[in-house]
Structure 1
Amino acid sequence: MIRLFTIASAFVALGLCVAPAAESGKTVTPKINAACSIHLGWQAPASEWFYLEARVEKSTPGSYFMICGWNTGYFGVQELGGGKKVAIFSVWDPTKGDNPDHVKLEERVEVLHEGKDVKVSRFGGEGTGGKSMTEFPWKVGEKIRCLVQAKVEGQKTAYSGWLWQPKSNEWKHLVTFRVQTGGKPLSGLYSFVEDFRRDGKSVGEERRAVFGNGWVKTVDKGLLPLTQARFTASKAPTEASDIIDAGQAEGGLYLANGGKVSPSVPVGTVLSVNSAPTTVPNDLPTELSKP
């Protein structure tokens, strides 16, 4: 099954959690503790790299704005507690189970590159794999630029995460993870907004981000802009599904949840970017052109 959501909500977002049964045998209505996770599934062919920009417009502690996701991993920014902000890039092992120590060495995500001040570790809990994290003091209203590169190497694929550094005006190569994929490139591209604080109070706090100026380099070497995405949402019974929204915004498509957000389009709607990008950014990492 393609993993389209975060580690923290992978199974609940697919609706695999059910309400517990009371002793009487009756179903107990679960308590809502989070705003519903929402996603944009970008329509694109198999690709060698995936570039996307985001602009966070509203945030609160415990928010995840995932910018570049694909069928075996994800890449984005988070606001943690105490004002701390980070970037995170993760790739799943091609195995089932939640204990990272139970995965055979030859099936684990390999680390080929670890950037300066980037913490790389194994994760478990809901799926297993490799995770990287670095402090990244992004700001509301500021453009965030992410790029994922995929290089097929036999039956494996090496995924590199690149993050634009506004202060130094350069790209930073965070990490390269390699994993068994059967020799497949990037596919299943998506973005999402998630409330991972899940303390009940976070439901009443709004998160909003705009995603746009997206590009992919397809496996046949063609460059294509990302112009359409399908709006989807978690089916988790503990997430408030009536305070979500998506639609067109200046520079792309927006996702919003929590607080006083109300839906303007139904889940499942295919949204089109109002003004499709026409020119690929000319300052992408030079490594993209290397064989």
Structure 2
Amino acid sequence: MHKTKIERKIVFRFANALSAYSIRDVIKMAAKKDVSKFRLIVKKGDNYGSVAGDYSLAETTVNGKSIWVSESISRMAFYAGQSWVITSTAYMKDVLGGATGGFVSSNDANVPYEADWGPNFDVSEVYLTVEKKFVPATEVYGSPSVHIWWSAPKHPEVQQQGVTWFYNRVEVTVPAESTYFMTNGFTGGYMGIQDRSPKWVLFSVWNNPKVPDGAVKELAHGEGVTVRPFGGEGTGLQSYLEYDWKVGDTYELIINVRQDAQDKEKAVYTAWFRLPEKSIWRMLSSLQVSPLSGKMSLEGLYSFIEDWAGNGLRRQGLYGSAWIRTDAGPWVEATHGAGTTTGPNAKNRNVFLSEDKTRLGMTTGGPDLSDTSLGPYDVVETSVPTVLTLNHLPDRDGAPARE
């Protein structure tokens, strides 16, 4: 590239464009985004000409790094070491030949929106493709996981004796693709509903690597349920039901643990989801394993909200009322919820009390919140849900669940 061409290229220096997050945060987020396209909108610029338009990732690269091209205005964008460059596609041959002004030292070249696009241009918005649509870069956020740890302070004897039944409810108030609204979690497994296409009710149990025969085994599953191994964060068996749950409706889930009748070293975890349109309990599965907790009880009761794809969109759900019991005792309400999060410094996640103070909510993703509390909170006590009083405890797929 000749000197005059180097002088004519447009350089965008780093600054603090995305005030809610640091450049490092944005880079981490970008690794999980679809950045095959981005849209640049310019309020004003110098006399070099417009660079506003839609840019698409090209098959060609600069020293193995990416180039985005806007065919309509014959512009291309790439990262050159300490800055972004947007210049004419007429210089593609020169750029590919290595005349890129320090491009070889580039890092994170697949993040076309990490700079603030100044000072040469005053850019009003940079749009990215997220969830199959363009959204402003300033609306791309992190979404740390948030958890509620349940307990029943007025009935400590239940957890001391060993919880064997755990009932919970969930209402999705703000949906977002790739969200796990987990309701019934315990040491070694969890259950909840997932926002995906199609939507799922999911129950999973982990293998126990501490013992020789620690693999999870399926004993039974319900109608329409798929059971299969999973990997990633541990290994085990998952069971899921495709179910088109609705935003704003409340769903009921219940988990039980018992000692296996044949193998006293194994626990059997069984999960049910109430089908409101049929007033029955749909069994997800009954899974046998040596318990990770070492106990024939449900330990570490919790719920969470998780953005497993890292798309950063706002999501929110209401949880509870939550109820627990032993095999022999009555149902007691878990009225106490303590919140934790994977993002202690994030400003866009919280745990909160519902307006009537009978449920706990969790939020994550999206812009900053005015309330970032994680509690702990105590809910107002309620009556035992009628689905637990009008029916026998579920013991099979299709057991009655009248309300």
TM-score (norm 1): 0.77
Question: 1:210 maps to what in 2?
Answer: 318
Counterparts of 2:384 and 2:224 in 1: how far apart (Å)? Answer: 32
Superposed CA deviations along residues 206-226 of structure 1, whole A, max 9, x for unmatched, are: 111111121111356242101
1:191 alignment partner in structure 2: 303
User: Counterparts in 2 of 1:120-139, with a 5 A limit?
Assistant: 120-139=227-246
Q: Does the CA contact (< 8 Å) of 1:244 and 1:263 recur in 2?
A: no
Tell me the percent identity. Answer: 27
Q: Measured at CA, do residues 173 and 284 of structure 1 come closer, stay the same or move farther in structure 2, by a change above 3 Å?
A: farther
Distance 1:185 1:128 in 2: 21
| Residue 382 (structure 2) aligned to one of 265, 268, 277 | 277
Which has the greater radius of gyration?
Answer: 2
Offset of 1:64 from its aligned partner?
A: 0.9
The aligned residue for residue 65 of structure 1 is 181
Can you give the 5+ residue segments of structure 1 that lack an aligned partner in the other structure?
Answer: 1-27, 97-102
Partner amino acid, structure 2, of 1:88 = L
For residue 360 of structure 2, what is the aligned residue in structure 1?
A: 253
Maintained 8 Å contact 2:281/2:394 = no
Matches within 5 A, 1:73-112: 73-81=189-197, 84-95=198-209, 106-112=213-219
SS at 1:287 equivalent? coil
Alignment equivalent of 2:332, drawn from 219, 224, 229: 224
Q: Name the CA shift for 1:283/1:128 in 2 (closer, same or farther; >3 Å).
A: farther
Q: Deviations over 1:200-241 (max 9, x none)?
A: xx21x21111111211113562421010110100149xxx82
Would you say the 8 A contact 2:350–2:363 is kept in 1?
Answer: yes
Note closer, same or farther for the CA distance 1:120–1:51 as it changes in structure 2 (3 Å cut).
Answer: same
Code of the aligned partner of 2:376:
V
From 163, 175, 183, the counterpart of 1:47 = 163
The 1:287/1:145 distance shift into structure 2, 3 A limit, reads closer
**Alignment match of 1:172 (pick from 273, 282, 289):** 282
Letter in 2 for 1:190: Y
Distance 1:63 1:285, change over 3 A: farther
CA contact (8 A) 1:217 1:224 kept: yes
Partner of 1:16: none
Specify which of 242, 262, 265 is matched with residue 369 of structure 2.
262
Letter in 1 for 2:236: G
Q: Is the 8 A contact 1:158 1:176 kept in 2?
A: yes
Q: 1:122 to 1:228 in 2, by over 3 A?
A: same
Using CA pairs under 8 Å that are at least 6 residues apart, name the structure with larger relative contact order, 1 or 2.
1
- Do the aligned partners of residues 67 and 190 (structure 1) sit closer, same or farther apart at CA in structure 2, a change above 3 Å counting? same
Assess, with a 3 A threshold, how the Cα gap between structure 1 residues 283 and 61 changes in structure 2: closer, same or farther: farther
**Number of residue pairs the alignment of both structures matches:** 244
SS in 2 for 1:61: coil
Per-residue deviation, 1:263: 5.2
- State the SS of the aligned residue for 1:247: strand
Q: CA RMSD in A?
A: 2.3
Taking the aligned partners of 2:192 and 2:383, their CA distance within structure 1 comes to: 24
Distance 1:241 1:165, change over 3 A: same
